Structure 1
Amino acid sequence: MPDDRRTVLADTAIGVLAEAGIRGLTHRAVDRAAGMPPGTTSAYYRTRQALLTALVRRLVALDQAELQGIGSRTPVPQSPEELVAGIAAFVRRRLTGEGRRRSLARYACAIESVHHPELQEILVPRDNAGRQVVHDFLTAQGLVDADARTITLLTCVDGLVFDRLVNGGSVSDGEIRGLVAAALR
């Protein structure tokens, strides 16, 4: 657990949001979940909007660190099956444990950002090493529109994750294989 109290509170807020939804995200709920005295969260984040903004910034930082790590330790796949295996592993992480918690919080924040443009600015998709691996694979396959196909493929993967979070179940390698095949057509 991080030592910095602001980070601890933001991490705790991610968990509260994932468990209780946007209406359950309150200063008091974060205090309770963090095991801190009442008023602690409010002392660091005076308004609900300040708390939500801190949560979103932390969520993006955690996601970026994960995606950068994937790219730094993952060579460009040499075959579609290698890409399928990499994406499937990523999806499994997004649907279980800590990844599930962050995914639930991320989607709640995305919906909330419709009404709070300042959150949209923070949530804008960023370049990262994980995305670059997919792009480099598609480029190596001779696709001239690898940029657009990378975005389409990853958006479809994101949609599968969202669907399984809402409706239950897992994502099969066959589903990922179909998306990769479509990106290669």
Structure 2
Amino acid sequence: MPTDRRTLLADAAIGVLAESGLRGLTHRAVDRAAELPPGTTSAYYRTRQALLTALVRRLVALDQAELHTMGRGTPAPRDAGELVARISALVERRLTGDGRRRSLARYACAIESVHHSELREILRPRENAARHAVRDFLAAQGLTDAEERTVTLLTCVDGLVFDRLVNGGSVSGAEIGRLVAGSLH
């Protein structure tokens, strides 16, 4: 559990957003979720927009840390099966437990970013070790457009995660395998 009050509030806001949606994201709801006295959240984040911005920054920080950890010290996948296994593991994390909660909050924020360019800028995809591993694997296969194919593959994976969050179910290794195969041809 974070000891920094701002981080604690941002984490609580992620949970509120995941559980209650954007309409349920209020200063009072975050106070309750963080088990802090009423008014605490508004003392740190005066406006709803400031709270939402802090939440988005925290989401990105958590995601980047996870992706960095996944790719740290790990060489590019040796074959398509290894890439499928790595992507499948990421998808499983995004659909279960705390990863599911963060995914729900992330998609709500993505939709909100259509109306708030500052959120869109924070949510912009970033370089990380996991993304590098995909790009390096595709480049090692002799593909001259590895960057574009990486973006397409990861966007399709993101779409599968979104679909399963909305409609239920899981993503099979076979589905990921078809996406990887498509990116190779």
Calculate the TM-score normalised by the size of structure 2. 0.99
In structure 2, how many angstroms separate the alpha carbons of the residues matched to 1:166 and 1:14?
A: 18
- Spell out, residue by residue over 1:8-66, the C-alpha distance to the aligned partner (whole angstroms, 9 max, x if none): 00000000000000000000000001100000000000000000000000000000111
SS of the residue corresponding to residue 77 of structure 2 reads coil
Aligned pairs for 1:137-152 (under 5 A) are 137-152=137-152
3-state SS of the aligned residue for 2:23?
Answer: helix
What is aligned with 1:77? Answer: 77
> Partners of 2:71 and 2:149 in 1: how far apart?
18
Match of 2:44 in 1: 44
Aligned to 1:9: 9
Partner of 1:61: 61
Q: Structure 2 matches for 1:19-168, cutoff 5 A?
A: 19-168=19-168
C-alpha displacement of 1:75? 2.1
Deviation >6 Å, runs of 4+: none
Distance 1:118 1:112 in 2: 10
Shift of 1:73: 4.0
SS at match of 2:21: helix
Quote the Cα distance in structure 1 between the aligned partners of 2:181 and 2:121.
Answer: 32
TM-score by length of 1: 0.99
Query: RMSD across aligned C-alpha pairs, in angstroms?
Result: 0.6
- In structure 1, give the amino acid aligned to 2:38: P
Shift of 1:71: 1.0
**Residues 93-142 of structure 1: per-residue CA shift (max 9 Å, x gap):** 00000000000000000000001111011111001111000000001111
1:62 & 1:53 partners in 2: Cα distance? 14
How far off its partner does 1:74 sit?
Answer: 2.6
1:102 and 1:75 map into 2 onto residues whose CA distance is 27
Structure 2: gaps spanning 5 or more residues: none
Distance in structure 1 (CA, Å) of the matches to 2:82 and 2:91: 14
| Aligned-pair identity (%) | 77
